[in-house]
Chains A and B, each alone.
Chain A
Amino acid sequence: MNFRMIARIISFILLVEAAFMLPAMLLCAFGGQSASAIAFLITIGIIIAVSSMLWLISRNAPKGFYSRDGLICVGFSWIIMSLLGALPFTISREIPNYIDAVFEIASGFSTTGASILTDVEAMSRGMLLWRSTSHWLGGMGVLVFLLALVPISGRNDGFTMHLLRAESPGPDVGKLVPRMRETATILYAMYIALTVLDFLFLIFGGMPVFDAVCISIGTAGTGGFGVLNSSIGGYSPYIQTVCTVFMFLFGVNFTCYYLLFCGKIKNVLKDEELHWYVGTAVFAIAAITVTLLIAKTYDTFGETLRHSAFQVGSLLSSTGFATTDFDLWPSFAKAILFCLMFIGASAGSTGGGFKIGRGLLVMKILRRNVRQVLYPNRVQAVRLNGRVVDEDVLRNTNAYLCAYVIIILVSFLVVSVDGFSTTTNLTAVVSCFNNMGPGLEGIGPTLNYSGYSALSKIVLIIDMLAGRLEIFPILVLLSRSAWKRR
């Protein structure tokens, strides 16, 4: 393990985190909430101290940085980022319990949006902005941001690829252009452009500027922290529609936007993952709308369609906003939402979940195996978008599925100790692990996670980070061989 190089990268990451705290701090300082401003100031001081300490350790770091270093570096940096990012909440006493604070910010960075707050509106505005900022930074990834910003070591090194692979979601991550820095810049440029577009649409609908900033960056990261207790339910139908559209957009693979930008519309239209993403959304909206109409939950067809589209968009893209308490819906509608939680957004988007692309691969592997049983001598390749998928990728996808199921089961067992209903516990784990936010029953869209014990919260924190980083960066940290010197 190249621990010194890892330390250097983490020291850079912490500086980025400190820089992203500045807007929240300034908001507190100018908004007259001096206690919160001081909390941010102290935290920034601590972060800079830790960062410079790591920088000192990292002097004369040896060359040689491999994919295992990339995984460890990413896993480590996200944990440290969460531990330090929680400090402002605790220091300002707005969330006095440190574990609660870590839960809140880990939920932010992992773009989950699960909260332990019973009254969001009681928080100071700076803290709310920091929560939402963490969504934005976690959505595209802090390391990708770093890669766009600074050449970590020379301009010729290929190891940045290992960082991109470890942090970006999807079964097969690649570059858009030969230079890593350019790739990262393009990704962030698209991300910023879409965020600003979202913000302008919200402002156009008469939303207050502060709310529009928080909601747009929360949507961009497919996070789900709102600024009102009613999430998005308190805003006008226009704003709810804008949110629905942008939640869908942020759940699309960003490579599609790049191809679109390059004028390769044909390639985008042929993208299998996009077909399935849109197909799943249309099917879910239609099924839920019909169910709700039969049950006569809402008065008009328009309202029914709006609510069902919003909830489907929110859970399919793993955002976790809500316009209505879907826990009161008929059970078939709830079952569909529960399934959507597993599926999640597209690979290469800011969303979480198992990812459509990976699900597609699993289905194709299954189909191949079934055929293999029927015709044992047939040799078949798995294809995606007409291209043969590498056996390595398929093997990793299978391993991912195993790890995914095991983690859900183990977490479910641990969380169940607290004595809530089975549905509550299961949806809590599924919702956190897939970076959604709300679940059903005890943690429904109007409720929160504050009732869970410290142990359960820690398990859920690990689940959230593991879900965002796609398991392996966190899993290797637990492996003993990762800590050996060589």
Chain B
Amino acid sequence: MKIIIAGYGKVGSALTRQLSAEGYDLTVIDSNKKKLETGQGLYDIMCVHGNCATMDVLGEAGVDSADLLIAATSEDEVNLLCCLTAHNLNKNIHTIARIRNPEYSKQIVIMRDSLGLSMLVNPERQAAQEIERLLKFPGFVKREKFVHGRVEIAELRVTADSPLNDIPLMHMESVTKCKALVCSVLRNGKAITPNGDFVLKDGDRLFVTATTNELAILLKNLGIVTHRAKRAIICGGGRISVYLAKMLEKGGIEAQIVERSAEKCIQLAEQLPHTSIVNADASDLSFWEGERLSEDDAVVAMTGLDELNMIISLFVKACGIKQIITKLSRTESSAILDNLSFGSVICPKDLCSNNIVGYVRGMKNQSGSSIAVHRIANGKSEATEFHVSKDTLNCGVPLKKLKLKKDVLIACILHLSQTIIPGGDSCFYPGDTVIIVSETDRALTKLNDIFE
């Protein structure tokens, strides 16, 4: 499948990395020659230099034979124009545009339908939604929804005083008193696919599959506070903050935005009637002292600088805040984050590219190919959603009799309206949906790839 990516920025390069690893033919367009040079040295792609919204450049990139165009430049208008032009040159092309100006958010569906776009993505809005979810269901570092929210994969941290510390996985159910499956463990920066004898240790990060109801029980039994914050202090008044504040205004959590620029504060105050806007510098520690933080507060560090976000998170953690969410633009450095525990981490770029990769896989959805993919464990493992079809091997065979490839695990089976967290006697049938957790390098594209 031929894919054109317009704009080689943060999202563009994340997409390039992921899609080129999956074996698609990529052509990247950007107006910055230096950026293209770096990209060409890293991945097996073709680069075209120029303005992606012009017919000439799109023609040179081979739009007439391409299957998909992803417009991810920094300008919303350019993205739309790029998709429109591409549609003119090739009627059958699928187009995805990134639209991130909050002012357009109301007309997104209209734009999509009237301009013939296949999908509009908004990384900032997605990030805001994710943060809202984390604020409403605290206690997890991260959670991912699957199969329209029927199953979730949540990330938990094992601490020295946790009831899970020093417990082998096969006895886990007696502690948690609910059905949940540990599908991946991140220990010392390495992702491990555990078996029953695996003993949990302090510092491990667990990735657990369970239904939403079971997750609540799991949290309760593990003694993790599910105390919902009453006030969310949002540092930085960027786009995500606006989306988030709007969502929180509806949802009963009091939002407070801290922004350094006075001018921006006025704009924010106009946009957000029910949010308190504070004109202060979040990196200034005296601000936090005057803020009188309490147990009921949550802090979301979302300034434009990753370093500043980390420092804010570490500082408010020291002040005794339980729920902290940190936004990071770069995840390349995530190996060092394992050692610094500052709560949940949100990366808009990855959320967005996961979303698009899910769409691309859906386009290729022939029999047995994957529907959606989520990266977990710092991107070292992948949870992939598959439909079981008639062509799938080993239907109706109990899992304990199956020979799966190394480090591949069936995390969940959705049979009719049931959600099964599989054991040795479970099996899957055509028409089911399964979730497979595997190492990222494997890049599973078909369900049958998991068998030896």
Asked if A156 contacts B43 (CB within 8 A), the reply is: yes
A175 at the interface (CB under 8 A from B): yes
Asked if B46 contacts A157 (CB within 8 A), the reply is: no
A294 at the interface (CB under 8 A from B): no
Asked if A156 contacts B46 (CB within 8 A), the reply is: no
The 7 closest A-B pairs by CB, nearest first: A178-B46, A178-B25, A158-B43, A158-B42, A156-B21, A158-B41, A175-B46
A378 at the interface (CB under 8 A from B): no
- Chain B residues in 8 Å Cβ range of A159: 41
Taken together as a complex, chains A and B put the C-alpha atoms of A243 and B44 apart, in Å, by 38
Asked if B41 contacts A162 (CB within 8 A), the reply is: yes
CB within 8 Å for A161 and B40 given contacts A175-B46, A178-B2: yes
B447 at the interface (CB under 8 A from A): no
Query: Which listed residue (A66, A155, A174, A390) contacts B44, Cβ 8 A?
Result: A155
Residue of B nearest to A174 (CB): B46
Asked if A390 contacts B41 (CB within 8 A), the reply is: no
How near does chain B come to A143, taking the closest CB pair, in angstroms?
15
How near does chain A come to B217, taking the closest CB pair, in angstroms?
42
B33 at the interface (CB under 8 A from A): yes
How does the 8 Å CB contact mask read for A153-178 relative to B, with 1 for contact and 0 for none?
A: 00111111110000000000011011
Interface secondary structure of A, over-half rule: loop
Asked if B23 contacts A158 (CB within 8 A), the reply is: no
B368 at the interface (CB under 8 A from A): no
Asked if B43 contacts A179 (CB within 8 A), the reply is: no
CB within 8 Å of B: which A176-206 residues: 177-181
B26 at the interface (CB under 8 A from A): yes
Chain A, interface size: which category?
10 to 19
Residue of A nearest to B60 (CB): A387
- Chain B residues in 8 Å Cβ range of A162: 41
We find that the number of chain B residues with CB closer than 8 angstroms to chain A is 16
Between A and B, 14 residue pairs with Cβ closer than 8 Å are: A66-B41, A156-B21, A157-B42, A158-B39, A158-B42, A158-B43, A161-B40, A161-B44, A178-B25, A178-B27, A178-B44, A178-B45, A178-B46, A179-B25
Q: Apart from A177-B46, A178-B27, what are 18 other A-B pairs with CB-CB below 8 Å?
A: A156-B20, A156-B43, A156-B44, A157-B42, A157-B44, A158-B39, A158-B41, A158-B42, A158-B43, A158-B45, A159-B41, A161-B44, A162-B41, A178-B2, A178-B44, A179-B44, A180-B44, A390-B33
Q: Total A-B pairs in contact (CB under 8 Å)? A: 40
CB within 8 Å for A177 and B25 given contacts A156-B20, A390-B33: yes
Taken together as a complex, chains A and B put the C-alpha atoms of A66 and B27 apart, in Å, by 21
- Chain B residues in 8 Å Cβ range of A174: 46
- Chain A residues in 8 Å Cβ range of B25: 177-179
- Chain A residues in 8 Å Cβ range of B2: 178
A372 at the interface (CB under 8 A from B): no
Residue of B nearest to A66 (CB): B41
- Chain B residues in 8 Å Cβ range of A158: 39-45
Taken together as a complex, chains A and B put the C-alpha atoms of A277 and B430 apart, in Å, by 63
Report B's interface with A, CB cutoff 8 A: 2, 20-21, 23, 25-27, 33, 39-46
A396 at the interface (CB under 8 A from B): no
A67 at the interface (CB under 8 A from B): yes
CB within 8 Å for A67 and B41 given contacts A156-B21, A178-B46: yes
How near does chain A come to B194, taking the closest CB pair, in angstroms?
28
Q: Which of B21, B26, B33, B43 has the most CB of A within 10 A?
A: B43
Asked if B23 contacts A157 (CB within 8 A), the reply is: no
- Chain A residues in 8 Å Cβ range of B40: 158, 161
Query: Which listed residue (B27, B39, B43) contacts A157, Cβ 8 A?
Result: B43
How near does chain A come to B8, taking the closest CB pair, in angstroms?
13
- Chain A residues in 8 Å Cβ range of B44: 155-158, 160-161, 178-181
Taken together as a complex, chains A and B put the C-alpha atoms of A178 and B16 apart, in Å, by 12
How near does chain B come to A31, taking the closest CB pair, in angstroms?
43
Asked if A178 contacts B26 (CB within 8 A), the reply is: yes
How near does chain B come to A36, taking the closest CB pair, in angstroms?
42
- Chain A residues in 8 Å Cβ range of B33: 390
Q: Which of B21, B23, B25, B46 has the most CB of A within 10 A?
A: B46
Asked if A161 contacts B41 (CB within 8 A), the reply is: yes
Taken together as a complex, chains A and B put the C-alpha atoms of A180 and B26 apart, in Å, by 11
- Chain B residues in 8 Å Cβ range of A161: 40-41, 44
Taken together as a complex, chains A and B put the C-alpha atoms of A155 and B20 apart, in Å, by 9
Residue of A nearest to B48 (CB): A174
CB within 8 Å for A155 and B23 given contacts A178-B46, A390-B33: yes
CB within 8 Å of B: which A21-78 residues: 66-67
Taken together as a complex, chains A and B put the C-alpha atoms of A159 and B45 apart, in Å, by 10
Residue of A nearest to B61 (CB): A178
How near does chain B come to A369, taking the closest CB pair, in angstroms?
23
- Chain B residues in 8 Å Cβ range of A181: 44
- Chain B residues in 8 Å Cβ range of A157: 42-44
- Chain A residues in 8 Å Cβ range of B46: 174-175, 177-178
How near does chain A come to B449, taking the closest CB pair, in angstroms?
16
- Chain A residues in 8 Å Cβ range of B42: 157-158
How near does chain A come to B125, taking the closest CB pair, in angstroms?
30
How near does chain B come to A392, taking the closest CB pair, in angstroms?
8
